[in-house]
Amino acid sequence: MLRFRLQELIAEKQFQDGKRVTLTVISKATKINRVTLSKMANQRGYSTVTKNLDRLCSYFGCRIEQLVEHIPDEMPSEKQSSQIDLCCQS
């Protein structure tokens, strides 16, 4: 799953600029819909287009790995295997 680090970048930008940065401000500057930004910030596993990632990297002056973090999903077969191991270890 991909996790967008939008909230962290907003907090950093606010600290650096000394003023409040809202999703509306970012939306106007990047031409990304505010609802899309909200989903990126708050909805687990939200998917967006690469154009939005590019615009956000430009806005925040960051690299893609500062904006997006990969969190590995546990594979169903691994989950089943660990449950089987736990039940059969008596």
Domain boundaries, the chain: 2-87
Binning pLDDT at 50, 70 and 90, where does residue 63 land?
A: very high
Q: Considering the domain 2-87 in this protein, what is its CATH number? A: 1.10.260.40
The pLDDT assigned to 45 comes to: 84
Q: Is pTM, for the whole model, over 0.75?
A: yes
pLDDT in tens, 3-23: 999 999 999 999 999 999 999
Nearest 10 degrees: Cα torsion 66, 68, 72, 73: 160
First to last CA, the chain: 34
Percent of the chain with pLDDT over 90: 73
Residue 68 pairs in a beta bridge with: 4
Query: How far, in Å, are 2, 7, 20, 24 from residue 33 at the CA level?
Result: 20, 16, 19, 9
Please state, in angstroms and rounded to a whole number, the distance separating the CA atoms of residues 9 and 18.
14
